[in-house]
Chain A
């Protein structure tokens, strides 16, 4: 440890670079594993942890499944026929108003950029979800990874001891696992649906800790004989997957909200969404690069206003507590919080006092890492029918997200001989929202 200490706290030349781990391939198992253990130890040491925190970037995606209304959140149109009954309120940014349903966030826009000009054209739940998850229109014969997998690939460590893509989707509306597409199962999400902890993460009661460990050791020993004589990346990934089991199991405690003091739990609030925001913070703090917290039932074809009255209160509390907590822990500058849905809702208020699907002019927010707080990007017309300034497509949003995290949006992957840009062709980041 002494050695690790000096390198972490000394010159930045010796600092642990999270990116440094990425360059290693799975074949460099032993070295990378050792290096990673230093990182784990480092987390116990405040000085080292601080160093790491500066370098580890993470994303928390708050996913508003079903499609939240931009009118009742980030782009209110008070006094207009399309505006609905709620007021717009002032915020901590003098020129910016948001819906009165988001009073806590109204005091926290210094951390957050609002994008009001999404025009994504797909107002179908399935298609819209895929579009906003992957940043591009679905294309036959290329299975695109979703944002979580891309971030896991870019910011995760090859041999990470924590999951690198956790997706919490407890509600059933629009539940979608997403996936790693051509990046491969290594970057597939740990998907939590029925339970607050990931499936199969807990040791069976019938087995002792020591038996579980020694059984794994025997497996590794016997597997080695086979793997050593066969140079094959798929075989290597098998070994790596089993090697990660113990570490992932150890991360069970990250999902245990009872380990947080009552004050922290009170700070976030009692709803499932708010508790999952807290779990999200615990995960990010432990080095998980991507966490998705889905909050569904926004699909308000009927009673849009009552629905948003209830759901915005949940969102406003959970999101603002998360931002505050991240900030207090010094994690906000390295954590990007994205609040996004598959689409927004129509300006037109239907006969059931609902708003329907609408993908032509809607909003999302980006907070924290790499983001210019207080920025408002793009503009819709006075009734919110269309974008009049700064139109943004899903690919542009993804380019902005990558740039905020310091990932070159011009990067390309190769699928066979075919270059696949990390964002859609022609997509450009909105520099105005980047810090």
Chain B
């Protein structure tokens, strides 16, 4: 009886683990952006919602550069786009940005935030691995393999297994973060009890997934290793003691090959693990013939099981650029929380799998869609439409790194930074910028769901010497120093608006700033105050 019930639950529950019939989706040959706009538009039509108009050129180039380069555009970059009359200028912009050195830095940072947020310490080799992976456009399934079962003897993939290394001490952390990040499924509820709201997740799922990691440990030499044996035991809610089976989230169970081991051998293996954990001079690790982690990777990517893996990353990439997942929250892919656009999620997952998990292709398609390019202003007389319709561009807080880098560029003398310069020159500059911005970035919180700006941040900007002496410095390499010699106040104001907000001031803004400057007894102090008011604008703090 129980078996029948379990099977029923599994087949009913796992909406995200299965896919719709191919015949129900629009053609696979379509461009990603076409599919996106088809499905998003059909929902809008169904609800009779008219979306916001497209963002103007200035707003769009700013948004796209922030997303694909991790910084605001320079004035030259922005004006080039705004003034261009080429019909395919947007396509050229996006392809140019994807091919530029900055993209690798930005996408690396996004992946780092996704994979390592909340992990303390500097992980330089890890960040180098990610950067290189993005530059080579390493596919997502390859990266997943690198991170979970990379070869510890190869320095490159050893850097990738940092993902496991930093979490290996806590089985729950390793289990649940692997699950939320790669499968979009937060099973932590099911640790103590079957999920109260969702039939999908039973204790068997949680402990089944944990079983794949149970034998993982870190040696004294800081290498990720696996024991020969070990299983997860747990108490069911009914109080029975149970040994978990190796079970993937879809219910696929692995039976480990049975190998007879003598008591002596077992003892010897235990001794070796002990030695590896305590002795930094221990010899090479003996690898067990059966690796549960390798098995997990194999099963998760198997056709039939790969839907969770594909949909989770599609959903996360979508959310990076659109401000909200097709499934929201991002770690709640289960049958009680359906996608806003289920067909689109299926189409994109199918497309991703059939293009070998090429993430950059996915990024390009999303960024070229109309849904991405809408205005973030809602001026209709009706209330702002529900966020899951993507009828108006959603506001996204800058990440700490984006913010720090944008502040540095906005407060610099115009033309300090020249991303258009060829050869290695700009890449070196960008590398330097990344490092210089790290310190300030650390003072901000990584934006998550329901992000709020705290008063600490406003106090930091209002009163710290750091902001006054750096961003607002009156020297020739800073914005203040560059616009100070100008005698026409309206020109000073206009220059500051372009440098910081990528647009000219409106008439009202110009008047307000002029009036402000006129009242100042000390002109340079006045300029610094006005520039401060622009640097602290929400228009710089958010991508919009």
Binding site for B on A (CB under 8 A): 139-142, 163, 182, 184-186, 188, 190, 198-204, 206-207, 211-212, 214-216, 218-219, 221-223, 225-227, 229-235, 237-242, 244-245, 248-249, 415-418, 425
Distance to closest chain B CB from A187 (angstroms)? 8
A141 touches B538 (CB 8 A): no
B457 touches A229 (CB 8 A): no
A200-B460 CB under 8 A given contacts A185-B454, A417-B332: yes
Residues of A within 8 A of B31 (CB): none
Q: Is B437 an interface residue (CB 8 A)?
A: no
Closest 5 interchain pairs by CB? A185-B454, A140-B176, A184-B452, A416-B329, A237-B452
With the chains together, A198 CA to B395 CA distance in Å? 31
Most chain B CB inside 10 Å of its own CB: which residue of A185, A223, A230, A235: A230
- Residue pairs across A and B with Cβ atoms less than 8 A apart, 19 shown, are A139-B172, A139-B188, A140-B180, A140-B188, A185-B453, A186-B455, A215-B529, A218-B512, A218-B529, A221-B512, A222-B512, A222-B534, A223-B539, A229-B379, A232-B542, A241-B453, A244-B455, A244-B458, A416-B332
A218 contacts which of B384, B445, B530 (Cβ < 8 Å)?
Answer: B530
With the chains together, A16 CA to B340 CA distance in Å? 43
**CB interface residues, B 224-280, toward A, < 8 Å:** none
Per-residue contact bits, chain B 498-513, to A (CB 8 Å; 1 contact, 0 not): 0000000010110011
B465 touches A238 (CB 8 A): no
A219-B533 CB under 8 A given contacts A199-B459, A230-B377, A230-B378: yes
What range describes how many residues of B lie at the interface?
A: 35 or more
With the chains together, A221 CA to B505 CA distance in Å? 13
A241 touches B450 (CB 8 A): no
B525 touches A234 (CB 8 A): no
- Give B376's nearest chain A residue, CB to CB: A230
Distance to closest chain B CB from A185 (angstroms)? 3
- How many A-B pairs fall under 8 Å by CB? 171
- Give A220's nearest chain B residue, CB to CB: B533
A223 touches B450 (CB 8 A): no
B456 touches A185 (CB 8 A): yes
Most chain B CB inside 10 Å of its own CB: which residue of A140, A218, A238: A140
Binding site for A on B (CB under 8 A): 170, 172-173, 175-177, 180, 186, 188-189, 191-192, 197, 328-329, 331-332, 336-337, 376-379, 383-384, 394-395, 397, 445, 447, 449-460, 462-465, 468, 506, 508-509, 512-513, 516, 519-520, 525, 529-530, 532-534, 536-539, 541-542, 544
With the chains together, A203 CA to B537 CA distance in Å? 20
With the chains together, A193 CA to B175 CA distance in Å? 35
A203 contacts which of B331, B449, B463, B544 (Cβ < 8 Å)?
Answer: B463
With the chains together, A245 CA to B459 CA distance in Å? 6
- Give B505's nearest chain A residue, CB to CB: A222
B452 touches A200 (CB 8 A): no
A218 touches B468 (CB 8 A): no
A211-B525 CB under 8 A given contacts A222-B512, A231-B378: yes
With the chains together, A244 CA to B329 CA distance in Å? 30
A245 touches B539 (CB 8 A): no
B458 touches A230 (CB 8 A): no
B456 touches A190 (CB 8 A): yes
With the chains together, A212 CA to B533 CA distance in Å? 11
Most chain A CB inside 10 Å of its own CB: which residue of B378, B395, B512: B395
B337 touches A226 (CB 8 A): no
B451 touches A219 (CB 8 A): no
Extra contacts besides A140-B173, A242-B536 (14): CB < 8 Å = A140-B180, A201-B459, A211-B520, A212-B462, A214-B516, A215-B529, A221-B512, A233-B452, A234-B395, A238-B458, A241-B455, A244-B458, A245-B459, A417-B336
B452 contacts which of A185, A227, A249, A415 (Cβ < 8 Å)?
Answer: A185
A245-B538 CB under 8 A given contacts A185-B453, A225-B506, A237-B452: no
A242 contacts which of B329, B458, B529 (Cβ < 8 Å)?
Answer: B458
Most chain A CB inside 10 Å of its own CB: which residue of B337, B450, B525, B538: B538
B453 contacts which of A182, A190, A214, A238 (Cβ < 8 Å)?
Answer: A238
Residues of B within 8 A of A239 (CB): 538
- Give B519's nearest chain A residue, CB to CB: A214
